[in-house]
Amino acid sequence: MPEQARVGVLISGRGSNLKALIDAQAAADCPYRIALVVSNVEDAPGLDIAREAGIATFAKSHKGIDRAAFDAIVDAELRAHGIEVVALAGYMRKLSTGFVEGWTGRMLNIHPSLLPLYKGLDTHARAIEAGDATHGCSVHLVTAELDGGPVLAQAEIPILPGDTPDTLAARVLVEEHRLYPLALAELVRTL
């Protein structure tokens, strides 16, 4: 692995985790450099965050394209930019097996729950509904099973009386922004 690993970030939306990953690059000892941001939503707000940071972007809607074919297009872009590690940051697409296998051990995701609890959507509401005392976020390696790969790092926070899914999500998001750059840097250092 060269001095700074070239990272590709896949997004579909607002891009606050992307922003946290970008901001962490300001540290002199940051072991990665985001070299490409890909979005399957052509007007995703996160694309503007990437552009403002001077990072190359590739935006293409998946609509009307077979899943494996779309993933092959994304994969080709990543390879063309010399990407070594892929970070999913609010990428709201299931990935094809071929794509996942091509990035084994080199693709990670951030998920807003204490995995293996609450894979999938609406994690904050589900944690409150269940009466859990704590909630949080996890960074994990991506495997064929949705939100099912090995967990690399977690942050846990209390669920407070009166929490709504929105208030809880906001506090978890603060932890996501702290955790994701650390976990990405740690993974990159092991490659």
Q: Which residues bind ligand GRF (CB under 6 A)?
A: 11, 13-17, 46, 89-90, 110-112, 137, 176
Catalytic residue among 111, 135, 140, 177: 111
CB-based burial of residue 30 (10 Å sphere; 0-12 exposed, 13-18 middle, 19+ buried)?
A: middle
Residue nearest to ligand GRF (CB): 90
Q: Which of 8, 118, 148 is nearest to 71 (CA)?
A: 8
User: Is residue 111 flagged as an active site residue?
Assistant: yes
User: What is the nearest approach in angstroms of ligand GRF to the Cβ of residue 3?
Assistant: 27
User: What is the nearest approach in angstroms of ligand GRF to the Cβ of residue 100?
Assistant: 16
Considering beta carbons, is residue 22 or 185 the nearer one to ligand GRF? Answer: 22
Q: State which amino acid sits at residue 44.
A: A
Considering beta carbons, is residue 96 or 109 the nearer one to ligand GRF? Answer: 109
User: What is the nearest approach in angstroms of ligand GRF to the Cβ of residue 142?
Assistant: 11
Considering beta carbons, is residue 74 or 179 the nearer one to ligand GRF? Answer: 179
Q: Which of 184, 152, 146 is nearest to 8 (CA)?
A: 184
User: What is the nearest approach in angstroms of ligand GRF to the Cβ of residue 128?
Assistant: 16
Give the C-alpha separation, 188 to 87, whole Å.
11
Considering beta carbons, is residue 2 or 167 the nearer one to ligand GRF? Answer: 167
User: Other C-beta atoms within 10 Å of 92: how many?
Assistant: 14
State the SS3 of 29-52: CCCEEEEEEEECCCCCHHHHHHHH
Instruction: Give backbone dihedrals phi and psi of 38, rounded to 5 degrees, phi first.
Output: -110, 140
Catalytic residues: 111
